[in-house]
């Protein structure tokens, strides 16, 4: 639920200009895809975690780790078998399970996935959806595209709410109080998903009606209610630019 | 007063599909509205009220196809000549389901959306948005995400959207259903005082309408019958025939034996914290339901009624405190959601009724007849809204639950149908909890009423229910 991840606060990240945060988010994602050394990646990752703890608190910083845990488990299981170079670290019954190369790649992938997740988490926890949309519009994203994103962000949590309601409703009809196993749970999801799908399809024409009634489609040029309030943009850009440049230089040198 | 809207011989029929032929829904509607008129159109569910609203807004047949004939003119110009987006300042509407109309992620942006479409300057938009928040008394919701609001709060938000856009005609579809009585009366009185032109659609004759000056119409068999063109006694009889009002006391209600009461639900010092950033928590000091009781839970919008109901049903996890539900743990409660479609997902009525149960054909036929359902092979998704609600209740009826929680279960049902449901369920249940804004329902069926406000039980009413509730909500209304 992206819309509910915004956490009210007064940290420097909350106050920072959303256009700047959007640019830095993009740079951060690119950095995690650069062929950096493990050390540089680790320092960079640690820096992000510290920023998150400072801005959002320790317990809230744990949330993205929880979200990404299943992916980390898959990475740990599936990555090592593809790398046979380097010194053998774990051998079971003459079969090489883990090599130094496999270990490095696994750590690199975990840092990359977790780093990108935590970057987005920090961004959406400190940036309201309205400000995010305004930043996208400032980057010349057409209004209709921005509207589609807003509606998507509005309807994803709605669908989650509908899904939970339907699941609750189905739970109340169940006559089985026994522990439900994984495959049974997966099987039980189908009626819920069918109901959510029917709800969603039914809502399409009604949403179109509501949009038209509020003026979408009209030739009149839209004005703007929300504006980005930032009178220290130049200062913020300069400081952030210098910090980002230093980070990249250090990362490439290590 | 000047004529603003004229409807002449309006007829409409939804398009037919293979094996599904819809009857003629509107069959010659005639209506003339002058500026400042406040009109209430009553009609049992599925009589075409929402369809009429959407035709006036030029949305039907634009989106649904079907056969439309007759004339609708706004200030002498056919509304069909307008696109819906040209009507912002002419005709505005609040739909029955508020979720269908909200599409932004903060309340102030939601109100400003139509103003942005009008191209107003920012200062004017800020002025109108602030005024709307002030008039609807929802300033505290300014930065909230609409998805996190209660049903009534969403309706107030949509009313605020209309207030900001300031259309000439306001179309309000079942607006009262989810509003607490104080807010509803306050809003209606304000609309009348400001001489706004309003058409309010409702499936029940509510007490609130008796206190205001307005023109009543009943939509029956596709035509509008004006109250002022018939005798008072005929109008009352017609309302009773259509199930828009019930006068006699609920026959199933009997005094509870208190000599040796058995507590079905007992709550002490219960706390529940809402997830996310919502600055609102539930804290119930004392609450109980005894065997044989029908208890109502009433309160303002967003006061925590549904949350308490879901905690009792085991759909939410408490944070701390005592919550004891007698019976078979999580299988002792039936929770009837306001939206029946959440609980219906199988291809036929028979499949729905027999899901997880071993029923004989006789039991199925008996249930179908008891709940006035169509035949066993009909797909529920093609049944009317009211029939789907009756099916939802029938499913729980067959499951033998001890406690029935009816959350705004009267919405979309005629009073006659609601009366039928509660009569059948009461004979089977050990206790019933009614969650409703409709004070008439609360007092009509309940032994006791709990009043909840800001997540706390503020009053337990055992005697003189009607007067105590009226006084409470009218005091709240005067505070608005």
- What integer pLDDT is reported at residue B381 of this predicted model? 73
DSSP assignments along B192-217, one per residue: HHTT-EEEEEESS--HHHHTS--EEE
pLDDT at residue A232 greater than cutoff 70: no
CA distance A222 to A220: 6
DSSP state of B48: S
- What integer pLDDT is reported at residue A233 of this predicted model? 65
Collapse the DSSP code of A206 into the 3-class scheme (helix H, G, I; strand E, B; otherwise coil) and give the result. helix
Question: What pTM was computed for the model?
Answer: 0.79
Region B442-454 average pLDDT: 86
Q: What's the distance, CA B321 to chain centroid?
A: 32
- Quote the mean pLDDT of chain B: 85
Within-domain flag for A230: no
pLDDT at residue B343 greater than cutoff 50: yes
Count of Cβ atoms closer than 10 Å to residue A155 Cβ: 18
CA distance B253 to B293: 9
- What integer pLDDT is reported at residue A175 of this predicted model? 55
Q: Beta partners for B356?
A: none
**Judgement on whether residues A8 and A59 belong to the same structural domain of the protein:** yes
**Residues B74-119: pLDDT tens digits?**
999 999 899 999 999 999 999 888 888 888 878 999 999 999 999 9
Contact B186, B22 (CB under 8 A): no
**Judgement on whether residues A179 and A63 belong to the same structural domain of the protein:** no
DSSP assignments along B118-132, one per residue: TT--HHHHHHHHHHH
Nearest CA in chain B to A147: B104
Region B417-422 average pLDDT: 86
Q: Which of A107-116, A207-216, B173-182, B266-275 has the highest mean pLDDT?
A: A107-116
Per-residue CA distances from A55 to A11, A244, B143, B441 (Å): 5, 18, 21, 50
Identify the residue whose tokens are 């219906």. Answer: B344
CA distance B96 to B79: 22
**Residues of chain B with pLDDT > 90: what percent?**
37
Contact B349, B380 (CB under 8 A): yes
pLDDT at residue B258 greater than cutoff 70: no
DSSP state of A220: S
B349: tokens are: 């009525």
Region B339-343 average pLDDT: 78
Any CB–CB contact under 8 A between A172 and chain B? yes
Nearest CA in chain B to A6: B277
- What integer pLDDT is reported at residue B464 of this predicted model? 74
Within-domain flag for A105: yes
CA neighbor of B288 nearest in space, from B307, B263, B255? B263
Q: What's the distance, CA B66 to chain centroid?
A: 27
Calculate the CA dihedral of residues A88, A93, A94, A99 and round it to 10 degrees. Answer: -20
> Which residues contact residue B448 at a Cβ distance below 8 angstroms, ignoring those fewer than 6 apart?
B293, B295, B296, B460, B461, B462
Nearest to B63 among A209, A216, A221 (CB): A209
**Residues B370-386: pLDDT tens digits?**
998 887 888 787 777 77
Q: Beta partners for B3?
A: B34
**Judgement on whether residues A161 and A103 belong to the same structural domain of the protein:** no
Contacts of B346 in chain A (CB under 8 A): 191
B68 preceded by cis ω (within 30°)?
Answer: no
- What integer pLDDT is reported at residue B247 of this predicted model? 60
Within-domain flag for A198: yes
Nearest to A173 among B54, B120, B395 (CB): B395
- What integer pLDDT is reported at residue B37 of this predicted model? 94
The β-bridge relationship of strands A95-99 and A88-92 is antiparallel
- For residue B249, the distance in angstroms to the closest alpha carbon of chain A comes to 31
Q: Beta partners for B364?
A: none
Within-domain flag for A235: no
- For residue B419, the distance in angstroms to the closest alpha carbon of chain A comes to 23
| Residue-range domains of chain B with CATH | 3-241 (3.40.50.300), 263-332+401-479 (3.40.50.300)
pLDDT band at B302 (very low <50, low <70, confident <90, very high): confident
pLDDT at residue A78 greater than cutoff 80: yes
If one compares A60 and B302, the residue with the highest pLDDT of the two is: A60
pLDDT band at B479 (very low <50, low <70, confident <90, very high): very low
CA distance B37 to B215: 8
CA neighbor of B179 nearest in space, from B197, B165, B200, B195? B200
CA distance A110 to A64: 13
Region B284-308 average pLDDT: 88
Q: Which domain holds residue A17?
A: 2-136+241-253
Q: What's the distance, CA B53 to chain centroid?
A: 17
Region A76-96 average pLDDT: 84
Within-domain flag for A171: yes
- What integer pLDDT is reported at residue B474 of this predicted model? 65
* Cα A99-A100-A104 angle, rounded to 5 deg: 115
B332: tokens are: 């002792």
pLDDT at residue A180 greater than cutoff 60: no
Interface mutation vs chain A, best among B103, B150, B336, B395, most A CBs within 10 Å: B103
- Cβ–Cβ below 8 Å for B116 and A157: no
Count of Cβ atoms closer than 10 Å to residue A142 Cβ: 10
DSSP state of B322: E
CA distance A224 to B141: 21
pLDDT at residue A195 greater than cutoff 50: yes
Within-domain flag for A221: no
**Judgement on whether residues A132 and A154 belong to the same structural domain of the protein:** no
Contact B336, B396 (CB under 8 A): yes
Within-domain flag for A33: yes
**Residues B53-64: pLDDT tens digits?**
999 999 999 888
- Cβ–Cβ below 8 Å for A211 and B315: no
CA distance A220 to A225: 15
**Judgement on whether residues A34 and A105 belong to the same structural domain of the protein:** yes
DSSP assignments along B233-272, one per residue: HHHHHHHHHTTS---SPPTT------SS--EEEEEEEEEE
Contacts of A129 in chain B (CB under 8 A): 105-106
Count of Cβ atoms closer than 10 Å to residue B209 Cβ: 17
- Cβ–Cβ below 8 Å for A203 and B115: no
CA neighbor of B85 nearest in space, from B121, B123, B119? B119
Q: Which of A99-108, A151-160, B119-128, B211-220 has the highest mean pLDDT?
A: B119-128
Identify the residue whose tokens are 């819906």. Answer: B84
**Residues B363-374: pLDDT tens digits?**
999 999 999 888
pLDDT band at A109 (very low <50, low <70, confident <90, very high): very high
- Cβ–Cβ below 8 Å for A222 and B117: yes
Region B13-32 average pLDDT: 84
Nearest to B147 among A8, A161, A210 (CB): A161
Any CB–CB contact under 8 A between A224 and chain B? yes
B429: tokens are: 């249940």
CA neighbor of B201 nearest in space, from B95, B61, B69, B92? B95
pLDDT band at A221 (very low <50, low <70, confident <90, very high): confident
H or E stretch at B26? strand B24-34
B301: tokens are: 């919008």
Within-domain flag for A220: no
- For residue A132, the distance in angstroms to the closest alpha carbon of chain B comes to 11
Please tell me the total count of domains within chain A.
Answer: 2
**Judgement on whether residues A74 and A190 belong to the same structural domain of the protein:** no
**Judgement on whether residues A27 and A150 belong to the same structural domain of the protein:** no
pLDDT at residue B255 greater than cutoff 70: no
- What integer pLDDT is reported at residue B246 of this predicted model? 66
**Residues A36-57: pLDDT tens digits?**
888 888 888 998 999 999 988 8
- Cβ–Cβ below 8 Å for A212 and B85: yes
**Judgement on whether residues A158 and A199 belong to the same structural domain of the protein:** yes
Nearest CA in chain B to A159: B147
Interface mutation vs chain A, best among B113, B151, B358, most A CBs within 10 Å: B113
**Judgement on whether residues A246 and A120 belong to the same structural domain of the protein:** yes
> Which residues contact residue A196 at a Cβ distance below 8 angstroms, ignoring those fewer than 6 apart?
A159, A162, A163, A166
pLDDT band at B41 (very low <50, low <70, confident <90, very high): very high
**Judgement on whether residues A114 and A193 belong to the same structural domain of the protein:** no
Nearest to B85 among A195, A198, A216 (CB): A216
pLDDT band at B453 (very low <50, low <70, confident <90, very high): confident
Per-window interface: A 139-168 vs B, CB < 8 A: 150-151, 153-155, 157-158, 161-162, 165-166, 168
pLDDT at residue B283 greater than cutoff 80: yes
Contact A254, A38 (CB under 8 A): no
**Judgement on whether residues A114 and A150 belong to the same structural domain of the protein:** no
**Judgement on whether residues A78 and A170 belong to the same structural domain of the protein:** no
Beta strands (DSSP E) in B118-187 are 169-173
H or E stretch at A126? helix A100-126
pLDDT band at B132 (very low <50, low <70, confident <90, very high): very high
């Amino acid at each position: 639920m992206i819309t509910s991840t915004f956490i009210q606060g007064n940290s420097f990240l909350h106050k920072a200009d959303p256009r700047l945060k959007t640019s830095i988010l993009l740079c951060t994602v690119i950095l995690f895809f650069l062929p950096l050394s493990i050390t540089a990646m680790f320092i960079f990752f640690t820096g992000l975690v510290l920023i998150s703890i400072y801005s959002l608190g320790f317990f809230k910083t744990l949330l993205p780790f929880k979200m990404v845990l299943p992916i980390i488990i898959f990475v740990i299981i599936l990555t090592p078998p593809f790398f046979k170079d380097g010194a053998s670290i774990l051998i079971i019954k003459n079969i090489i399970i883990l090599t130094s190369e496999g270990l490095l790649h696994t750590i690199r992938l975990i840092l990359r996935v977790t780093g990108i997740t935590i970057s987005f988490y920090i961004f959406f926890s400190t940036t309201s959806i309205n400000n995010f949309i305004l930043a996208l519009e400032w980057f010349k994203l057409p209004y209709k595209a921005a509207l589609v994103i807003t509606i998507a962000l509005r309807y994803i949590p709605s669908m989650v709410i509908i899904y939970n309601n339907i699941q609750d409703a189905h739970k109340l009809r169940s006559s089985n109080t026994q522990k439900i196993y994984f495959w049974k749970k997966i099987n039980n999801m189908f009626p819920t998903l069918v109901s959510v799908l029917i709800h969603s399809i039914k809502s399409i024409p009604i949403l179109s009606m509501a949009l038209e009634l509020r003026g979408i489609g009209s030739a009149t040029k839209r004005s703007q209610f929300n504006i980005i309030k930032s009178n220290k943009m130049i200062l913020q850009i300069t400081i952030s630019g210098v910090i980002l440049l230093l980070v990249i230089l250090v990362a490439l040198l290590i | 007063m000047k004529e603003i809207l004229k409807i002449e011989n309006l007829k409409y029929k939804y398009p037919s599909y293979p094996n599904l032929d819809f009857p003629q829904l509107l069959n010659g509607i005639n209506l003339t509205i002058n500026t400042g008129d406040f009109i209430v159109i009553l009609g049992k569910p599925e009589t075409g009220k929402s369809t009429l609203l959407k035709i006036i807004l030029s949305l039907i047949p634009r989106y649904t196809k079907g056969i439309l004939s007759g004339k609708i003119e706004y200030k002498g110009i056919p509304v069909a000549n307008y696109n819906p987006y040209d009507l912002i300042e002419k005709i505005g509407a609040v739909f029955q389901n508020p979720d269908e109309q909200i599409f932004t992620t903060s309340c102030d942006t939601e109100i400003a959306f139509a103003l942005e479409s009008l191209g107003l300057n920012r200062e004017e938009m800020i002025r109108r948005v602030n005024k709307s928040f002030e008039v609807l008394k929802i300033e505290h919701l300014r930065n909230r995400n609409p998805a996190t609001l209660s049903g009534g709060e969403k309706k107030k938000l949509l009313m605020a959207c209309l207030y900001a856009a300031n259309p000439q005609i306001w179309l309000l579809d079942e607006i009262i259903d989810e509003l607490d009585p104080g807010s509803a009366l306050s809003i209606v009185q304000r609309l009348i005082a400001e001489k706004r032109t309003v058409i309010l659609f409702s499936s029940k004759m509510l007490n609130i309408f008796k206190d205001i000056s307005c023109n009543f119409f009943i939509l029956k068999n596709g035509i509008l019958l004006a109250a002022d063109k018939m005798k008072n006694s005929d109008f009352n009889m017609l309302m009773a025939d259509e199930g828009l009002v019930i006068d006699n006391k609920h026959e199933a209600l009997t005094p509870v034996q208190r000599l040796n009461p058995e507590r079905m639900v007992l709550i002490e010092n219960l706390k529940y914290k809402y997830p996310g950033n919502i600055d609102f928590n539930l804290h119930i000091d004392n609450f109980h339901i005894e065997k044989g009781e029908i208890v109502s839970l009433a309160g303002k919008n967003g006061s925590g009624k549904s949350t308490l109901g879901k905690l009792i049903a085991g759909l939410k996890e408490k944070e701390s405190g005592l919550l004891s539900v007698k019976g078979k743990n999580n299988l002792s409660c039936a929770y009837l959601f306001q939206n029946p479609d959440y609980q219906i997902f199988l291809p036929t009525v028979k499949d729905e009724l027999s899901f997880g149960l071993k029923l004989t054909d006789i039991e199925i036929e008996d249930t179908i007849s008891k709940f006035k359902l169509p035949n066993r092979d009909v797909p529920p998704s093609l049944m009317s809204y009211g029939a789907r609600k009756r099916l939802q209740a029938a499913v729980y009826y067959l499951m033998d639950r001890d406690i029935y929680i009816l959350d705004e279960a009267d919405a979309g049902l005629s009073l006659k149908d609601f009366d039928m449901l509660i009569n059948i369920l009461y004979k089977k249940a050990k206790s019933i909890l009614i969650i409703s804004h409709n004070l008439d329902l609360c007092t009509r069926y309940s032994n006791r009423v709990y009043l909840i406000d800001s997540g706390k039980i503020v009053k337990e009413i055992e005697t003189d229910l009607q007067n105590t509730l009226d006084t409470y909500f009218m005091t709240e209304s005067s505070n608005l």
